[in-house]
Amino acid sequence: MVHRDIVSNRRTVLKTIGVLGTIGGVSGVGSANSNGNRDPRLDLVGHTTLGARDGANTHGAVSEEHDLAAVGSFVFGNNELRLVDISDRTDPELVSTIFTDPDGHSSDIRNSDIHPTEPWVFTANEGGEGAGWAIVDASDRENPELIGSFTVEDAPSGVHNVQAFGDDYLITVGHGRGAVVYDISDPGNPEEVSSFQMPEPGEDHDDGHEHEADGETIHAAHVRGDYAFLAHWNRGLYVLDMTDPEDLEVVASFDYSEEEADAPLRACHHAVPHPSDDICLLGEEIGTGEPGYKHIVNFDLEDGETELQSSFQFPQHANQPTGSQGFWWTGHFSDWGVGDQQDVVFSGDYKAGVQVFDVSDPEDPVRIDQYMPSEGVDEVRREDPARYDLVDNVPFTWGAESSLAGDSGHIYVSDATTGFYIFTLEGY
């Protein structure tokens, strides 16, 4: 594997944008600011509380191809995957649940993904040594079957995120070994075929990849075409050419340890490439203090050049409460829209709910709407819930998907407390 030297020691001139507003409404960001006479707004199409199940909901992976959503969970004990039938977008329905770690090593499913052509759900089984990842066959979504649960060899913990790559490969991250790629052509017997990991900033290694205990954490992976966009927690964006998944090559990076900017560069939680343009959204997850930023980075996969276009947050420079009241306004999982909305970012932002940003000008993103999910809150609350503390927070929005789900233009949102939502963006 070749680690191509990209660009280093660049001074980035950053345009920091304060995206102003108030919870529950958009103040100071009128539609005329970016959309002329248009009035963009999220319209609720369908919702399910998922039956007020024990444990908070986590990421909701969606496949419109299979009319299926897979929602993970925080549960103390055996984890639980929640399968949702979305064939009627106005009435999504929880149809089954399944444990994905029969040996009980995993306490939660932090993230999941769905195979592009087969009705298989991949789960990231969070937990200590012995946890890992799993494959569920949802051909009969009312009676799903566990194909198998697997561990990442020599990893100190379970898996935090999973990402399918084509029909035959799966990327696993967040387990201490960087990004580990598996051949899943035989789903009952996956085989590790490659891995990638940068050292921690400041450490010197000759080869630049495949470092184990001393390596840098990779938090998430997203795919566009033959490329994987990796969110290195402390290093930022690394892009891998996966034309040959068994021989990975770095083709571009925006490395936080080599950049200078007017806004902090930290806690890179996810890196989601635009559906067609050569820009990537980097989202931060910061629990206390100043909320995390979202960064728009331009990239060129031919010469490896990257450039920071803008950084923005909401609310601007407003410190978050600490302790159990943390994670008020920081970002979590985001996605781009499709079609004439492909320049729109939909973001699940914890206690800030679902936020919508117009990024048609990458140097000047503008917040255009916000929705605070609270439907069904009385149903899901319990007098003495045996579940994770997140369910006492309303909203606590985990993430949003649109282009990752398909091409219908619907926006799919999972909320830790109140379940699974389906929206459209009208008036954009």
Prediction pTM value: 0.88
Q: What is the pLDDT, as a whole number, of residue 79?
A: 86
DSSP 174-238: SSSSSEEEEE-SSTTS-EEEEEE-PBPTT---SS-S---TTBPPEEEEEEETTEEEEEETTTEEE
Q: What is the pLDDT, as a whole number, of residue 272?
A: 98
Q: What is the pLDDT, as a whole number, of residue 389?
A: 57
Q: What is the pLDDT, as a whole number, of residue 119?
A: 97
Q: What is the pLDDT, as a whole number, of residue 74?
A: 82
Give Cβ neighbours of residue 150 (< 8 Å, ≥ 6 apart).
132, 133, 134, 135, 182, 190
Q: What are phi and psi of 341, to 5 degrees?
A: -110, 20
Residues of the chain with pLDDT under 70: 1-37, 76-78, 201-215, 315-318, 322-325, 381-392
Q: What is the pLDDT, as a whole number, of residue 178?
A: 95
Q: What is the pLDDT, as a whole number, of residue 129?
A: 76
Angle at 116 between CA 115 and CA 118, to 5 degrees: 60
Say whether 131 sits in a helix, a strand or coil.
strand
Q: What is the pLDDT, as a whole number, of residue 421?
A: 98
Q: What is the pLDDT, as a whole number, of residue 296?
A: 98
Tens-digit pLDDT profile for residues 124-176: 998 877 889 999 999 999 999 999 999 999 998 899 999 999 999 999 999 99
Q: What is the pLDDT, as a whole number, of residue 199?
A: 80
CA–CA distance, 254 with 282 (Å, rounded to integer): 10
Give Cβ neighbours of residue 169 (< 8 Å, ≥ 6 apart).
181, 182, 183, 184, 193, 242, 245
Q: What is the pLDDT, as a whole number, of residue 318?
A: 66
**Cα distances (Å, whole numbers) of residue 244 to 47, 169, 229:** 41, 11, 15
First-last CA distance in the chain: 45
Q: What is the pLDDT, as a whole number, of residue 10?
A: 26
Q: What is the pLDDT, as a whole number, of residue 105?
A: 80
